[in-house]
Structure 1
Amino acid sequence: MVHREAHARRPSIHDVANSAGVSAATVSKVLQGVSTVKPENVQRVFDAVELLGYRVDPLASDLRRAKRRIIGAIVPEFESEFFGSVITQLERLAEQRGYALVAASSRESETREKEILARMHDWRVSGVVLAPVRNEHGPAAGFMKKNGMTGVLIDRVLADDSFDTVSADSVSASAEVASELVERGHRHILVLGLGEQAATVRARLDSFRERAQQLAADTRVDVILSESDVEPLRSSLRDYFAKGERPTAVYSLFLRGTLVALSEFRRRGWHCPNDISLVGFDDAEWMQVTWPAIAAVVQPVRQIAIEAMDVLFRRIEGEGGPPMARLEPCKVLMRESVGSPGSGPHSGGGKRQ
């Protein structure tokens, strides 16, 4: 047991080594992200770091290094549960290695995204985790490449020839959603998305449509994309339903779109799943506690953060080799908001007669 009195002074790397039962050199390797340390020793070091409240002395480190022990993180926005959770995980992982995390929101602006990145370059950050506004070919990624910055791209990316990428396997997940809906008998499905997120939205949409029509050639897939925000989407959805369109299921490719769809259902007095089924990409607490609970594609936030930081620190330490594209599997949870068509007012499918 570690007594509080024994550590009134600032814990040292030797204290961590003693607590973890390893050498100080091993502790140093773990905190620097060296990948050759045994996994069980890595975990023991991290446990000791957390127990003792150990912190690397950033001033001493800066004297030895050209770059500071700072990791930059840029995400499109902080409001969503997904990006909020990503930042939380990245911060925890950075601090485990003795680094500080500086996070900023691009507010869905590529111009702001590049400006933030330029400031981080001025601060001499050791590396950057970037979730781009659009995709891996945006101006921020170009700035990183031009200035020789070390970074990893996450979320709205597929693959890149300059940087490692880590993202959720949304293509496979969307195909699985299509299978679930078609196998339940749905033949008229509406897909909602944001046009800004071109790369990932297109991949999810194409995968969904291809699988649905592969399983049932007569499946009709309608699409509504908003270019910027949820209000245009809400307006387009109302116009769509006002024309008499009655899909038996809706698949939203982003979290706020799921809420817009559910709000419109309730405004019209429709209930899931008897009147219409609903599946959303991304999960949130409200989707789990509402009744009926909303089916969701759950992204592997923790694993994305772990993989991103792991590869980032290995690049910081000088590991070479071509960039790698990592895809982390999602989990599709078919909750009570999904059922078979035919039990509600839309049992005839298509347009209302």
Structure 2
Amino acid sequence: MDFAYTEEQRMLADSLRRLVQDEWGFATRRARATQVAMDARAWAQLAELGVLGLNISAEYGGFGEPPASLLPVHLELGRGLVSEPVIPSAVMSAALLVACADVAVRQRWLPALATGQVIMTVAYQEPGRRYETDPSLCRLTSAGDTGLQLSGTKHLVWHGAAAHAWLVSVRDADNEPVLLRVPADSKRVTVVDTPTLDRARCARLDFDRTPLASDAIVARGERARDGLAMALQWGVAALCAHAAGAMERLLEITIDYLKTRRQFGQPLAAFQVLQHRLADMLVAKEMGLSMAYVAAAALSEPDEGRRSRMLASAKLEAARAGRFVAQSAVQLHGGMGMTDELEVGDYFKRLTMVDQLLGDSAEQLAVLETLAALE
């Protein structure tokens, strides 16, 4: 795969960087983090720039860009710590619908995702089951000739309270996996919205015999499993690029601080031991960036085993490199690095959360171990 930016990708990255600098500065980002409701203006700006419809085909109102286009976009979003639900909605939900929904469902919902009129997120995690993707606690039953009922709980739903609809993994009466589109305004649903460590948000969804129409079913059986797997794979690739962008910007902030802060009559950047630590941070950042390229390339890999191995390896390195760069940045800022007045702490929290999202390091190691055993 050729990762050299096309002219269109370069223009998009430049435009997005200017937008992020103008609209996601330190003060604005902090103010948005205290708001329960999502900023509609910021979301509309991302949609206008084409970010939300980037990988949705032109047939469904998007731009039909290849997986490699995730890199320039999510690198820039990561640099600005943009917390809007771009990955859950425009990346993961769109990938799920493309992978397993029928044409009618695609025609109805993909254009709405591309324009930002509708926000969706994937609800797959259940209490006590960590990152298990096969549903168990959420059950779908029949309710008359044309209706359905959903009962159970999903938690840690990324931007669940901001979504207009959730793509929920469940099991039906025959114990078959099913993917549902559940409108957020459905009856008998309790949504508990919670801020996360990195100033984003997640939600717990409790369904108590929630009534649904029969057309709520998106996919069944293997199609449902494949659709959820594809959503998570696209989400991991975008998250790796986001982490690489955050590391890049945090390294720049740290270098500027060491050049400005003086001790013993000279800038801290003049001390060799600190130069060595910066060099280690640069190597870690480059490793994270390289593996973000690997993750994007994996989305075009036809072999399922190889694709899973590439993505698990990329996620592992994104978490490791992000953790090292974030912790080093805090240390190099000294006591100031522990205060809430500097944005270095915001980057530390986001890069710490990268490991927890979409499967932590232990989960990725388990994937690699399983794949190795199958060889």
Q: TM-score range by the shorter chain?
A: under 0.3
Larger relative helix fraction: 2
Whose Rg is larger? 1
Normalised to the residue count of structure 1, the TM-score between the two structures is 0.25
